[in-house]
Structure 1
Amino acid sequence: MNPNDMPLSFLEYITNHFSDNQRLGSGGYGDVYKGVDRNGKEIAVKKLYQMQGLGDQQFKNEFSNLRRVQHQNIVRLVGYCAEERLRYENINGEYIYGKMIYRILCFEYLQLGSLDKHLSEESHGPDWLTRYKIIKGICEGLNFLHGGLENPIFHLDLKPANILLDKNMVPKISDFGLSRLFRGTCRTQATESFKGTEYYMPPEYITMRLISNKYDIFSLGIIIIQIMTGPMGYLKYANTPSPLEFIKLVHKNWMERIKATSKYAEQECQQVKRCIEIALNCVEAKKDKRPTIGDIICELRKTETSRTKSSWVQANVSKIGPWGGTGGGLFDVGVAPHRLETLIIGSGEVIYSLKFLYSDYKGQQHSAGPWGGYGPRKASYHDTIQLGLSEYVTEISGTIGPFYLANSGVITSLTFITNVGSYGPFGTVGGISFQIPVQSHGGIAGLFAYAGWYIDAIGIYVNPVLKTVNEEEKEDPLAKIGPWGGNGGRPWDINMVPSRLQSMTIRSSSVVNSLEFSYLDSDGQKHTAGPWGGPNGSAYTIHFGASEFLTGVYGTAGRFTDVPEDVITSLTLFSNTRSYGPFGHGGGTSFQMSKHSNGSIVGFFGRAESYLDAIGIYTSSELEAKIERKAGLTKVGPWGGIGGMSHDIDNGPEPHRLESIKIYCDAVVNSIGFSYTEYNQKEHSVGPWGAPGGKLNEIHLQPLEILQGISGTYGPFGTSRNVITSLTFATNHGRAYGPYGKGGGTAFNLLVGREQPSCIVGFFGRAESYLESIGLYLHTY
Structure 2
Amino acid sequence: MHRAFSSAVILAIGLSGGGGRPGFTQQPAATEILGGPGGSSFSDSELQPGARILEVHVRSGDRVDSVQMLISSPDGRTVMSPKRGGSGGRLNIFRVNRDEYITGVSGRYGDYIDSIRIHTNKRTSALFGGPGGNRDFRVEVPAGNQAVGFAGQAGDYLDAVGLIFASIQTADVGQTTRLVGGRGGSAFLDRDVPPGAGIAEVRVQSGDRIDGIQAVYVLPDGRYVEGERHGGSGGQSGVFRLDSDEYITGLSGRCGDSIDSMRIHTNKRTSQVFGGRGGQSDFRIDIPPGSQAVGFAGRAAEYVDAIGLTYGERDTWWRRPSRRGSYRP
TM-score (norm 2): 0.46
* Higher share in helix: 1
Which entry has the higher C-alpha Rg, 1 or 2? 1
* Higher share in strand: 2
Q: RCO (CA 8 Å, sep 6+): is it higher in 1 or 2?
A: 2
TM-score (norm 1): 0.21
